[in-house]
Amino acid sequence: MNLALLKGVERYLQGMQSIAVAKRKDSNLFLFVFRDTSGAKQSLYFDMSKAQSHIFIAPKEILQTREFNAPFDTKLTQCTTNAEIQKVRVDGENRILQFLLTQKGKYKKQSFWLMCEFTGKHTNMIICDEKLIVIEALRHIPQSKSWREVKVGVFLESLPQRAGEKIESLSQSETQEELIAAYQKHYLSKQEQKKHNAIASLKAKKAKLEQVLADLPQYESLIESAALYAKYGELLFTHLHTLPPYKCQNAEVEVKDFNGKNVLVPLPPNVRDFTEAGNWYYTQSKKLNKKAKHLHLQRENLEYKINFICDEMAFVERFGEVELFSKNPKLKNAGAKQKTEKAEFESFFIDGYKVSVGRNAKENQKLLEVARAEDLWFHIKDVPSSHLIIHCGKNTPPNEVLYKSAEILVGLYAARKGIGDFVVDFTKRRFVKLSQNAQVIYSKHTSIICKADSTECKVVG
């Protein structure tokens, strides 16, 4: 982060009266919405990545695609929502932007310091009380790693001032230009790298599923094995009275089949007697018959998943949507414990709202079954495609979330299947009636028109 630009941001923020909201948009990306004396709002994004920290202005709001519930996120919301800005300053010649904020409580005012430290590999965001006692921090730093401990309940030491010539602030117009340019230079270039990583991850996922599909047994082979095992079981039980009643000593036993020919029946390992061996063969025969019966469903399910991943890859490649399909199961700074569970459909977050997409007719039906009455259901009108659910309950999502959901639904379909205008209908789940094969009848819907071309998918009406 350039110190001259940071001082320019300080000058820019002198005209701001309060912070309307501050929230995390990505692991290290924060949105700050400031309110000036006239009530007009201005948004700045603080990228607090180590060694790559920046401040920029985005042409439109960057939507949140993960849920962040870490203690730091909770405290940031408590301390900054509608907080008055008493003071904003740069810490001398250090790349630290300091806010003194006041929150009006029910009975008294409380003041907090918000330290935004753009200090290379030590980049951090720290919330302190008036006496500079740490309340919470984006990154906690133990005394064993630094002389300047960042720990809840510990006094925050000041950084020594940099030696050398004093850096002058950029002008207001220069600051504005730099903040707009930083979006292209830093944020979009980082997104491009994420795009490559997302596509590589999806390719690996696709290759894994393709290998599972290739390794599926053939139907004829399963039926033949099932018939053979049934025959072995029948022969063992037919000759049970001629076989010794004690433990099987050999790996196989010779018996006569129904044509009088000698047949060697292999004995399963660890069976106690011939009765158990016969039961084992009958059980395995039933399992193989059942597997053969459902083999086409397993194959169909894998093919649907592979095709959906192809849609995701085309979606990322064509429209540049990265975060939706760049899942990190650890979510190091998310604060929420992640459970490993089988995904019944594709799910992600848009500005804190969980969104699920069905990848085939079966998943579309499952989505409708698990959705609550007040959740919102989306689909592309007159087009057999994925269904989408916003799990919002009685909380109505803002238009940005509704529009983004419609764009994603159209984008996934159009990424490989063409361009044009699409109508997306949405309504509450309670007004959707399910019939056969996930076919639906719905009412009381609202329509959104999305246009998909070669580079983007956006709402136009």
The string of pLDDT tens digits covering residues 137-171 is 999 999 999 999 999 999 999 999 988 888 999 99
Distance CA 276, CA 240 (A): 11
Tens digits of residue pLDDT in 399-442 = 999 999 999 899 888 877 777 899 999 999 999 998 876 688 99
- Determine contact, residues 90/98, Cβ cutoff 8 Å: yes
Two structure tokens written together for 264: 């060697």
The lowest-confidence range among 91-95, 187-191, 254-258, 435-439 is 435-439
Two structure tokens written together for 111: 């003041």
What is residue 345's predicted lDDT score, i.e. its pLDDT?
Answer: 82
Task: Please list, residue by residue across 90-124, b when 16 or more beta carbons sit within 10 angstroms of its beta carbon and e when fewer do.
Answer: bbeebbbbbbbbbbeeeeeeebbbbbbbbbeebbb
The architecture in CATH of the region 3-160 reads Roll (2.30)
Instruction: Quote the percentage of the chain above a pLDDT of 70.
Output: 93
What is residue 327's predicted lDDT score, i.e. its pLDDT?
Answer: 53
pLDDT > 60? residue 340: no
What is residue 291's predicted lDDT score, i.e. its pLDDT?
Answer: 95
Task: Give the bridge partners for 113, in sequence order.
Answer: 100, 128
CA distances, 224 to each of 253, 293, 296, 343 (Å): 21, 13, 17, 33
**3-state SS class at 239:** coil
Q: Domain ranges in the chain?
A: 3-160, 219-315, 341-459
Q: Say if pTM beats, i.e. exceeds, 0.85.
A: no
pLDDT > 90? residue 99: yes
pLDDT > 50? residue 236: yes
pLDDT > 90? residue 322: no
Higher pLDDT, 113 or 258: 113
What is residue 96's predicted lDDT score, i.e. its pLDDT?
Answer: 96
**Owner of token pair 């010649």:** 93
- Determine contact, residues 24/62, Cβ cutoff 8 Å: no
Distance CA 333, CA 325 (A): 18
Distance CA 246, CA 231 (A): 22
Tens digits of residue pLDDT in 291-306 = 999 999 999 999 989 9
Higher pLDDT, 330 or 182: 182
Stretch 102-125: mean pLDDT: 92
What is residue 342's predicted lDDT score, i.e. its pLDDT?
Answer: 53
The pLDDT confidence band at residue 125, using thresholds 50, 70 and 90, is: very high
What is residue 272's predicted lDDT score, i.e. its pLDDT?
Answer: 86
Backbone angles phi, psi at 30, to 5 degrees: -125, 140
Tell me how many degrees the CA angle 167-19-7 measures, rounded to the nearest 5: 5
Tens digits of residue pLDDT in 373-392 = 999 999 999 988 899 999 99
Q: Is the dihedral of CA 433, 435, 437, 440 positive or negative?
A: negative
Task: Give the bridge partners for 96, in sequence order.
Answer: 117
Task: Please list, residue by residue across 331-346, b when 16 or more beta carbons sit within 10 angstroms of its beta carbon and e when fewer do.
Answer: bebbeeeeeeeeeebb
Helix (H) or strand (E) holding 11: helix 3-13
What is residue 454's predicted lDDT score, i.e. its pLDDT?
Answer: 64
The pLDDT confidence band at residue 330, using thresholds 50, 70 and 90, is: very low
**3-state SS class at 330:** coil
What is residue 98's predicted lDDT score, i.e. its pLDDT?
Answer: 97
Distance CA 70, CA 106 (A): 25
pLDDT > 50? residue 332: no
Query: For the chain, first and last CA: distance in Å?
Result: 40
Q: Which of 380, 363, 355, 397 is nearest to 452 (CA)?
A: 380
What is residue 249's predicted lDDT score, i.e. its pLDDT?
Answer: 74
